[in-house]
Amino acid sequence: MARIETPKRIRGTQDIFGDEQRRFARVLETFETVRRLYAFQRIDIPMFEDTQVFARSIGETTDVVSKEMYSFEDRGGDSITLRPEFTAGICRAYLTEGWQQYAPLKLVTSGAVFRYERPQKGRYRQFHQIDAEVIGAAEPAADVELLAFADQLLHELGIADGVTLQLNTLGDVETRDAWREALVAHFEKHRGDLSEDSLVRLDKNPMRILDSKDPRDRPIADAAPDIDAHLTSEAGGFFEAVTKGLDAAGVKWTRNSRLVRGLDYYRHTAFEFVTDRLGAQGTVLAGGRYDGLIEALGGPSTPGVGWAAGVERLAMLLEPPSERTGGIVIIPVGESAETVAIQLLTAIRRRGVFADMAFRGNIKRRMTRANSVGADAVIIIGDDELASGNVTMKDLKEGTQYSIPIAEITADVAFFEETGWINRKPDKREGGASGWTIYAPSGDPK
């Protein structure tokens, strides 16, 4: 019989396990914690949309739309695209689901996104993002709120050191129009020296030349006029309000006058949190104000500002996660013991305490498993324990061992709500009715 060859993982995808998965999970858990602190609502949107949702919002001339989208025709003949980012889908939902009545809305989401690009460190064809948006708020305070959210997230993750917030203004419509004219005039003088991609951008999206990584373009882009000379008083006032708000919130920032967003619907604030700890992939979180996006999708004039961050890139910056889980591992010996172990395991878990059962191998191997998952204690149940009505508990941190009545543990399992795990020791100092002192995870007696 011919050997069946197992299909390989598709290039640019990943199977996340072990320490990598624990880092990944920590990013999402911390994101969830911080979004609650900032009163952002969680939403979930489809993984694929009508292709026009992204073509209109991201821009036909961008690399994402022209080269990187996973688009296909479904059986009904409709052009469908796997989402390459979240903002467009959220804005589409804002319009089609009637969420305008709830504006201003503070929203977050997370999940997989898809881009067909060359896989490299921290960049995949299926990757994951966390996303935060404020829709319907034209005030600079919305920008400050989002940036403070992002800054606190990085601090809560413990990765803020070495990450810099770069900030710029793209001005209002009048500002952008004037700056665009100045840029076109500048680049036209150097048309013969620009790369092929920049020549295309010069006709369609000249601001994107400032982002070019091509060595032929860099000297020309670096010499291009800044936006400051074209800022209206209103646009300058908006940017000043944002920077003052960040200072008041204790969010450190630095000005990067070359930071741009090429599409016309971007206005005012643009920002990136960057680091040199990821090599070439230095941006870990980025966003900006997109006051014209919802109009581009057929809706009324609606302000919006948001950011997105790659979960994989944030996870790469985290310290190796602790292997300790705490809690209890139960070791049953024999079928009768397994039945009692399941009862006790269920009671412990229903109190929100980590608990597992080591049911395979000899006692030594099972104790090794308990240590490998970082348990605080093990409970051993065998024939002798069943006959006596007592179980043996071993404190893995201190190496001490005790005999405890099974009925007492089951009846008194409510104390898990207070202690977080079970570790009961003879109380020789106080000599209570039960003869045990309940210890909290910190080791301090309750």
What pLDDT digit, counting tens, does each position of 136-172 carry?
999 999 999 999 999 999 999 999 999 999 999 999 9
pLDDT band at 423 (very low <50, low <70, confident <90, very high): very low
Task: List, in sequence order, every beta strand (DSSP E) within 334-433.
Answer: 355-357, 377-381, 390-395, 401-405, 424-426
pLDDT at residue 358 greater than cutoff 70: yes
Strongest mean pLDDT among 31-35, 57-61, 209-213: 31-35
Is the peptide bond prior to 104 cis by the omega test (within 30 degrees of 0)?
Answer: yes
pLDDT band at 285 (very low <50, low <70, confident <90, very high): very high
What is the average per-residue pLDDT within 262-272? 86
Q: What is the pLDDT at residue 158?
A: 95
- What backbone phi and psi angles, to 5 degrees, belong to 192? -70, -15
- Using the CB atoms, write b or e for 257-271: b if 16+ within 10 Å: eebbbbbbbbbbbbb
| Of residues 201 and 23, more confidently modeled | 23
d(C-alpha 446, C-alpha 433), whole Å: 15
**pTM as predicted:** 0.83
pLDDT band at 412 (very low <50, low <70, confident <90, very high): low
Q: What is the pLDDT at residue 271?
A: 97
Q: What is the pLDDT at residue 351?
A: 74
Q: What is the pLDDT at residue 433?
A: 34
pLDDT at residue 326 greater than cutoff 80: no
pLDDT at residue 443 greater than cutoff 60: no
Average pLDDT score, the chain: 86
Percent of the chain topping pLDDT 70: 87
Q: What is the pLDDT at residue 422?
A: 44
pLDDT at residue 436 greater than cutoff 50: no
pLDDT at residue 224 greater than cutoff 70: yes
Q: Which candidate, 257, 316, 240, 242, places its Cα nearest to that of 283?
A: 316
d(C-alpha 327, C-alpha 402), whole Å: 17
What is the average per-residue pLDDT within 302-311? 97
* Structure token digits, residue 398: 């201190």
What pLDDT digit, counting tens, does each position of 230-257 carry?
999 999 999 999 999 999 999 999 999 8
Q: What is the pLDDT at residue 394?
A: 85
Q: What is the pLDDT at residue 324?
A: 59
Query: H-type helices in 210-334, by residue range?
Result: 218-222, 233-249, 293-296, 311-316
pLDDT at residue 346 greater than cutoff 80: yes
What is the average per-residue pLDDT within 248-277? 90
DSSP labels, 189-236? HTGGGS-HHHHHHHHH-GGGGGG---TTTHHHHHTSPPSGGG--HHHH
What is the average per-residue pLDDT within 180-190? 92
Q: What is the pLDDT at residue 230?
A: 93
What pLDDT digit, counting tens, does each position of 79-92 carry?
999 999 999 999 99
pLDDT band at 220 (very low <50, low <70, confident <90, very high): very high
pLDDT band at 63 (very low <50, low <70, confident <90, very high): low
Q: What is the pLDDT at residue 371?
A: 80
pLDDT band at 399 (very low <50, low <70, confident <90, very high): confident
pLDDT band at 323 (very low <50, low <70, confident <90, very high): low
Q: What is the pLDDT at residue 410?
A: 64
Judge residue 407's burial from the number of C-beta atoms within 10 Å of its C-beta, 0-12 exposed, 13-18 middle, 19 or more buried.
exposed
